Structure 1
Amino acid sequence: MVAPWNRTKSGPQGSAGPPQDQNVQGEEGEYLQQQEPQPEPDEQTRLLPPQNAYLSPDDPAVSPYNLWSIHILRGLSLVSLAVTFVWWAFLLTSNFVSPPLMHTRGSGFFAFAYTTLILGYIVLGLLFFATPSKPMATWGIILSVLLLVGMCISAAVPRLRLEEGWVGIASVVWAAVMSIYQVIQIRTVAWGKREEEERLTGREETRRSLREWLAVFAETILMAVMGVAVLLMTATLILRARDASLPPPGRRYFVNGDTYQVHLACVGNRTSETADAPTILLEGGTGPVEHTLQPFLDDIYRDGIIPRYCYWDRPGLGWSDTAPSPHSAGMTADALSEALARAGERGPWILVSAGVGGIYSRLFASRHLLEVQGIFLIDPLHEAYLAELARPGRGFVLWLRGVLSPLGLDRLAGALLRGRSSRDRVVGRSAYQSDKFIKAQLQENLVAVTMTAAEVQSARHIQMGETPLVLVSSGRHIKSDPQWEERQEDLSHLTNNRLSWDVVPEAPHEVWTDGEGRRVVENRLRELVQKSSSYRP
């Protein structure tokens, strides 16, 4: 019996070999070609042994790399890998420092996620270049469709288009284009492999070695993981598109040379009676002020305790864009100043803040000495705790959360299983899951003990000594941290005109959520408004 790689190629109906110019010789009936002058070897015959016998399917010469088209395709993949890696490196840097012209008003994590995914896809395509499979081609088509959907959503929704900017849109388009290219590559290499097998062995090889089966299994698993990741990213984009339709209560104003916008809202109209009355300027804690302090202050306003108040979202929170990196607390205070000026809002101000918002209020006060008529701090963060915000471990966790945030695991679970609404995700209880919120926390972490700490130290020396000051502290916080009380007392001496310092025994960090804490804050704010009317810087 003749080995399959030594038999002649079958004809259309399965008849043996070339039908013409053959003689039957010997008892075995072997087919031998007539002796003819052999032409010079060309690309189609240069690998065949003499007399045009076929090679073994296991011969290394049986490879799609014999074709120039496959060589060119692999070269294009290597060039694409190099270009994508350079772009990926720029996006990685922009997570920490915004390169010129590459700032996005969103977080930048979506562009990084799409580029990381397509970089891995190109590497996977090169690793398994010579072993294409139907599962890999199928998953490639699924990836291409999902990436095209993501590209359409990013480009079609105006708010997403603004937040992602040209950097994000270019990243998504590049990912979609490269996914289509990878499908073409898989199909072309499979065609080339089949053509070379038929030419050099006489038939298409349907067997696979153990090594090839392991390669097919690995590439199928990895492609499935990529497919799930892109599906989650597309679903998260749909959630973001839905959230973008939630209108802000105030207006967005360009700041910092029109590079990004911040959201500012004021409640209450100025009248002849309240023309000279101070406006409460509200600064929230860690989360969006709309979910924490603003509802409480709105109740006070409706009760007539305060005549008017304004609140805003710091960069990266609520309806505000993300600022370029690095971004310090002083830069945030300057952004608030510019937004107030563009909105036509003027003092005098009474600054009310909670938690870490006290840092921002103090910096704003040091920059507006003649406009601030009072400072009200609710369990404020002392600058000594900035080192806690700047811990490297915390920064790494924030960065990792940001990189994974485009998958939207927590946001999707909240929307599908817990009924979380758009408001919950923008300014509510799920706002901490937003990629912009995570980016703002990361920016705070990166400069807390450098730029921000220096700005706060300078503000202590600049602050007007006679500005009325009220401080309300959490009793629970003082019990849990022995140093908290000592540092709260230090903050009570920010000015020489301390009106009061109250410790509410059972109140949590958000003092106004406790019944007794709410009563104390209301009474002290009423007193501060009355006192400030007689104070003129």
Structure 2
Amino acid sequence: MATATHSAERPPTSDGPTGTERQQGSGPIRRIIAASLATGLVAAAVVTLGVFAGAGEHATTGSALLGFALGWAMLAVLSVRMTDQPQRWAFIPAAGMAATGLGLLVLAPEGGALTVAGWVWPAVLLALALWMGLRVRRSLAAGSGRWLLYPVLVVMSAAAVGGAVETVALASAQNRYAMPGRSYDVGGYELHLACTGSGGPTVVLQSGLGEFSSSWARVAPAVAGTTRVCAYDRAGQGWSDDAPRIQDGLQAAADLHTLLDRAGENGPFVLVGHSTGGSYAMTYAARYPEQVAGLVLLDASDPYQATATNSTADPSVPAELAVLPSLARLGIAQLVPASWSSLPEPAAGQIQAFATSPRGFQNTADESAAMPALFGQAQALTTLGETPLVVLTASETAQTNDGWSAAQSRMAALSANSSHRVADTTHAALLDEEHGAEVSARAIDDVVHAVRSGSPLASD
């Protein structure tokens, strides 16, 4: 009597196909995974560096998420339609990233709101990455392209951890570094001003690109022994609020004029500018000549490199700089060594915290975009008459930059009462290091003395 035998078959589970089915479709699924990941990466690069090039942090992050969402959606759709290994789980990250990206583009949150969101999104992203890892393991065999997805999930997890570290670092810096001085409303937003010392004329310190009031930690106390000195933060720097839009030199000058007036600081002032701060000081002097008693340019940037048309150009942030705030939000900047500033504490820590923050990178990007207009506006200063002027050039900068000495001499020629000096130091050391700060403070003191006495400046 014949007996019928039935082979036991394991029914497919809802988590994915059986091992045999996986082997049959391993080739197509591998190609689909590779193509989907490549599509997401390319799409994110195209929209952030092309379509939304130079946009704010919310647009850069939002557009990148939309690009990545496209890649995950492609994986889900093509695997369902073209293979026997459907990866329907990929619809979840696609939908989540698309919704978040659209939300950022539509709502356009500012940096403060993004910082608050940093207490939430890293945990959500980490949970999503871990869940995706489980789904990948259950729905794909080892030879079906799983190895292509695992590195992506590791990057997502690292981004989540880095985002959490960055959020904690931002909160720690805010609690650790109390604001010196006061903030004053200049028209819908507040600027920070810290003044010490007494006597006149009052010295006003203008920081360069990537610097702010703490950068003068060595110079300001030295000058305060002679006269009153004020360090301030332009919009977007240090303890000052962000401005509604990128500011050029004329807008920054108007802000400073309002700030000094509302703080009760009386001019005329001795303006001091380091690096690009020199162009801000020159622009202020051209706009408010009656408020300028003297000028000190510390290795000031060359404003004559700009053309006349630059002064009216709309500022546009370079695409490569626009992505830096979003990358900093992932904690990448926390990897920067903490010992790069020679200033004493707490100034060194304050500068480190600001320079490596998303807001610090955004400020650098915004001021870089405004630089051509700033240089063109600084050229409006064609003469200072007999106003005391010291131009202090760092020897290293003159040796490494063609045309730097000529530009410094051209600025020194703005006044019939000027002194052009060369300091044996570096560009940054004029503020950072003890010797350079002493030379800078001496130049400021000489201008203050010339203003008080009405005497001509000595050559050195």
TM-score (norm: length of structure 1): 0.59
- Structure 1 residue 421 displacement after superposition: 12
1:507 paired with 2:425, answer yes
Tell me the amino acid that sits aligned with residue 220 of structure 1.
Y
The aligned counterpart of 1:380 is 300
Q: 1:441 to 1:517 in 2, by over 3 A?
A: closer
Are the equivalent residues in 2 in contact too, given 1:262–1:321 (CA < 8 A)? yes
Tell me the amino acid that sits aligned with residue 263 of structure 1.
H
Q: 1:118 to 1:215 in 2, by over 3 A?
A: farther
Q: Distance in 2 between matches of 1:517 and 1:421?
A: 14
1:437 paired with 2:370, answer no
The aligned counterpart of 2:286 is 366
1:347 paired with 2:267, answer yes
What per-residue deviation string (whole Å, max 9, x for no partner) do you get for residues 74-112 of structure 1?
Answer: xxxxxxxxxxx99x97999787356xxxxxxxxx36x74
Instruction: Map 1:54-453; keep pairs closer than 5 Å.
Output: 96=54, 108=57, 112-113=60-61, 116-117=64-65, 120=68, 123-124=71-72, 127-128=75-76, 130=80, 163-165=111-113, 213-245=143-175, 246-255=177-186, 257-258=187-188, 260-268=189-197, 274=199, 277-301=200-224, 304-305=225-226, 307-385=227-305, 395-412=318-335, 414=337, 423=346, 427-429=350-352, 431-449=354-372, 451-453=373-375
What per-residue deviation string (whole Å, max 9, x for no partner) do you get for residues 119-148 of structure 1?
Answer: 6257426514655789x89x98xx99xx9x
Q: Distance in 1 between matches of 2:349 and 2:51?
A: 27
- Structure 1 residue 362 displacement after superposition: 0.8
Are the equivalent residues in 2 in contact too, given 1:125–1:182 (CA < 8 A)? no
Are the equivalent residues in 1 in contact too, given 2:388–2:417 (CA < 8 A)? yes
Tell me the amino acid that sits aligned with residue 241 of structure 1.
A
Are the equivalent residues in 1 in contact too, given 2:253–2:283 (CA < 8 A)? yes
Instruction: Map 1:481-500; keep pairs closer than 5 Å.
Output: 481-495=401-415, 497-500=416-419
Tell me the amino acid that sits aligned with residue 531 of structure 1.
A
TM-score (norm: length of structure 2): 0.68
Q: Distance in 2 between matches of 1:242 and 1:478?
A: 40
Cα RMSD (Å): 4.9
Tell me the amino acid that sits aligned with residue 338 of structure 1.
T
Q: Distance in 2 between matches of 1:529 and 1:437?
A: 32
Corresponding residue SS for 2:247: coil
Task: Give 2:381's match in structure 1, choosing from 450, 460, 470.
Answer: 460
Q: Distance in 2 between matches of 1:522 and 1:175?
A: 46
- Structure 1 residue 369 displacement after superposition: 1.6
Are the equivalent residues in 2 in contact too, given 1:474–1:503 (CA < 8 A)? yes
Tell me the amino acid that sits aligned with residue 422 of structure 2.
V
Corresponding residue SS for 1:446: helix
Corresponding residue SS for 1:533: helix
Q: 1:288 to 1:413 in 2, by over 3 A?
A: closer
Corresponding residue SS for 1:407: coil
- Structure 1 residue 262 displacement after superposition: 2.6
- Structure 1 residue 218 displacement after superposition: 3.1
What per-residue deviation string (whole Å, max 9, x for no partner) do you get for residues 175-217 of structure 1?
Answer: 9889989999999x99xxxxxxxxxxxxxxx99776x852444
Q: 1:489 to 1:252 in 2, by over 3 A?
A: same
Task: Give 1:530's match in structure 2, choosing from 417, 424, 449.
Answer: 449
Provide the identity percentage: 24
- Structure 1 residue 411 displacement after superposition: 1.4
Tell me the amino acid that sits aligned with residue 309 of structure 1.
V
Q: Distance in 2 between matches of 1:261 and 1:465?
A: 34
Q: 1:185 to 1:284 in 2, by over 3 A?
A: closer
Q: Which runs of 5+ in 1 are unaligned?
A: 1-25, 32-56, 60-84, 99-107, 148-160, 191-205
- Structure 1 residue 516 displacement after superposition: 6.9
Tell me the amino acid that sits aligned with residue 502 of structure 1.
R
Tell me the amino acid that sits aligned with residue 250 of structure 1.
G
- Structure 1 residue 231 displacement after superposition: 1.2
Q: 1:490 to 1:224 in 2, by over 3 A?
A: same
- Structure 1 residue 235 displacement after superposition: 1.1
Q: 1:218 to 1:446 in 2, by over 3 A?
A: same
Tell me the amino acid that sits aligned with residue 453 of structure 1.
F
Corresponding residue SS for 1:164: helix
Are the equivalent residues in 2 in contact too, given 1:471–1:501 (CA < 8 A)? yes
Are the equivalent residues in 1 in contact too, given 2:220–2:231 (CA < 8 A)? no
Q: Which runs of 5+ in 2 are unaligned?
A: 7-19, 23-42, 101-108, 308-312, 455-460
- Structure 1 residue 446 displacement after superposition: 2.3
- Structure 1 residue 118 displacement after superposition: 7.4
Tell me the amino acid that sits aligned with residue 420 of structure 2.
W
Are the equivalent residues in 2 in contact too, given 1:411–1:430 (CA < 8 A)? no
What per-residue deviation string (whole Å, max 9, x for no partner) do you get for residues 489-518 of structure 1?
Answer: 1000123x32322223x2322346677765
Tell me the amino acid that sits aligned with residue 230 of structure 2.
C
Q: Distance in 2 between matches of 1:364 and 1:93?
A: 36
The aligned counterpart of 2:29 is none
Q: 1:434 to 1:329 in 2, by over 3 A?
A: farther
Q: 1:27 to 1:178 in 2, by over 3 A?
A: same
The aligned counterpart of 1:50 is none
Q: Distance in 2 between matches of 1:122 and 1:473?
A: 53
What per-residue deviation string (whole Å, max 9, x for no partner) do you get for residues 32-51 of structure 1?
Answer: xxxxxxxxxxxxxxxxxxxx
Segment of structure 1 superposing worse, 355-364 or 465-474:
465-474
Tell me the amino acid that sits aligned with residue 527 of structure 1.
D
Q: 1:93 to 1:428 in 2, by over 3 A?
A: same
What number of residue pairs does the alignment pair up? 392
Are the equivalent residues in 2 in contact too, given 1:425–1:433 (CA < 8 A)? no
What per-residue deviation string (whole Å, max 9, x for no partner) do you get for residues 253-302 of structure 1?
Answer: 344x41x4332111135xxxx4xx2111011233434454342231232x
Are the equivalent residues in 2 in contact too, given 1:242–1:422 (CA < 8 A)? no
Mark the structure with the bigger radius of gyration: 1
Are the equivalent residues in 2 in contact too, given 1:280–1:352 (CA < 8 A)? yes
